[in-house]
Amino acid sequence: MTLTLTNLTKQYGSFTALQNFNYEFTAGVYGLLGPNGAGKSTLMNIITDNLKPTSGSVKFDGVETSTMDADFRKILGFMPQQQGIYPNFTLERFLYYMAALKGMKKADAKPQIEKLINLVNLQDSRNKRLGGFSGGMKQRALIAQAMLGEPKVIILDEPTAGLDPKERIRIRNLVAQIAFDKIVIIATHVVSDIEFIAKEVLLMKRGEIIDSGAPHILCEKIDGKVFEITADESMLDEISAKYKVGNISKDEKNIYVRVISEQPPTYECKTCKPDLEDLYLYYFDQGASR
Ligand SMILES: Nc1ncnc2c1ncn2[C@@H]1O[C@H](COP(=O)(O)OP(=O)(O)OP(=O)(O)O)[C@@H](O)[C@H]1O
């Protein structure tokens, strides 16, 4: 199973939001990581055929998806960023409605809806209106609708937006659970959404891939460039001016400042093993959300 993007370009007037994007996805979880405006939503919307590229193609197992019409919709599950959630629908009605939009027969939808409500752990809320759901419950309901019809390709655009850390973990575990034998692409600027579950990460900036690969391989590239400086409060401004600063922690004696630097800092420090958040900082020069 392959989803192949070839030379995808998208222009909005004279502005290029996506530039010559090439990638081949196979079964597994992919993280599309980049700051606001990198072009993630544009790419997701093109893959899902909600937006036409200016040039280039999207192929599933060698067939152009734009020519597959309803057949592609059947193998696709999409959770867009801005969701129109129907506040007056109960969860069950919402899922039957979304199943009907996907062209599923009620009899086929029924067992799947039962399974999905259990999977997203909303059994007790099946007859409650979506308008009364918490943010995390809504996101889980939306993941359930994306899973209807057992799609082969699942696209999740910012699935943890606005959620607290506990709900984020829940969503992440859910994604890891559903990913078997599917292509799952998650667009996010929250590193922890994908850090431990992504087979590959694509780092995007201004419409282009600036690096991609397995998280641990990507992190190896900045081996020897991540340090923890032992500091006190009076040094913080100076350190921030000199280096890209990540986490800052504190104990009763000192402040510990994680920095990215090509050369060892001229302060008391130790070398750290790089993680994906360091990589994000290295490439994007701004703190990522955990
Ligand atoms: N319809 C549009 N017309 C003009 N410019 C657009 C349009 N949609 C997006 N853009 C621009 O294209 C760029 C990429 O936007 P996109 O929404 O794809 O980025 P993103 O990585 O998803 O960012 P975010 O995380 O903020 O959603 C941005 O600079 C945005 O302003």
* Residue in the block written with tokens 């696209």: 155
| Ligand 1 center–CA 16 separation, angstroms | 10
DSSP string, 89-153: SBHHHHHHHHHHHTT--HHHHHHHHHHHHHHTT-GGGTTSBGGG--HHHHHHHHHHHHHTT--SE
- Token pair recorded at residue 176: 């890891």
Task: State the closest ligand 1 atom to the C-alpha of 15, by its place in the atom list counted from 1.
Answer: 5
Q: Tell me which residue has its CA closest to atom 4 in ligand 1.
A: 12
| Residue 203, strand partner residues | 33, 211
In angstroms, the CA 283 to CA 191 distance is 13
Is the distance from CB of 31 to CB of 156 less than 8 angstroms? no
Question: Of 32, 41, 82, which is best to mutate to test ligand 1, by the most ligand atoms within 8 angstroms of its C-beta?
Answer: 41
pLDDT of residue 261: 94
Q: What is the pLDDT of residue 287?
A: 46
Cα(17) to centroid(ligand 1), Å: 7
Q: CA neighbours within 13 Å on the CB side: how many for 168?
A: 19
Find the 36 Cα to ligand 1 centroid distance in Å. Answer: 8
Q: Which atom of ligand 1 is found nearest the CA of 18?
A: 14
pLDDT attached to residue 84: 67
Kindly state if the Cβ of 50 falls inside 6 Å of ligand 1: no
- Ligand 1 atom closest to the Cα of residue 13 is 4
Contacts of 89 by beta carbon, 8 Å cutoff, 6+ apart: 97, 129, 130
Tell me, using a 6 A CB cutoff, whether residue 36 lines ligand 1: yes
C-alpha distance across the termini of the chain, in Å: 32
Contact 88 CB / ligand 1 (< 6 Å) = no
- Domains of the chain, by residue range, sit at 3-214, 224-272
User: Which residue shows structure tokens 């001016």?
Assistant: 241
- 10 Å CB burial of residue 175 (0-12, 13-18, 19+) is buried
- CA–CA separation, 47 vs 33, rounded Å? 16
Q: How many CB atoms lie within 10 A of CB 204?
A: 26
The CATH superfamily holding the domain 3-214 is P-loop containing nucleotide triphosphate hydrolases (3.40.50.300)
Q: Report the alpha-carbon distance of residue 88 to residue 94 in Å, rounded.
A: 9
What's the complex ipTM?
Answer: 0.94
| Ligand 1 contact via 39 beta carbon (within 6 Å) | yes
Q: Say yes or no: CB of residue 196 within 6 Å of ligand 1.
A: no
Residue ranges of the chain whose pLDDT lies below 50? 287-290
Two structure tokens written together for 138? 């809504």
- Distance in Å, CA 42 to ligand 1 centroid: 6
> Cβ(38) to ligand 1 under 6 A?
yes
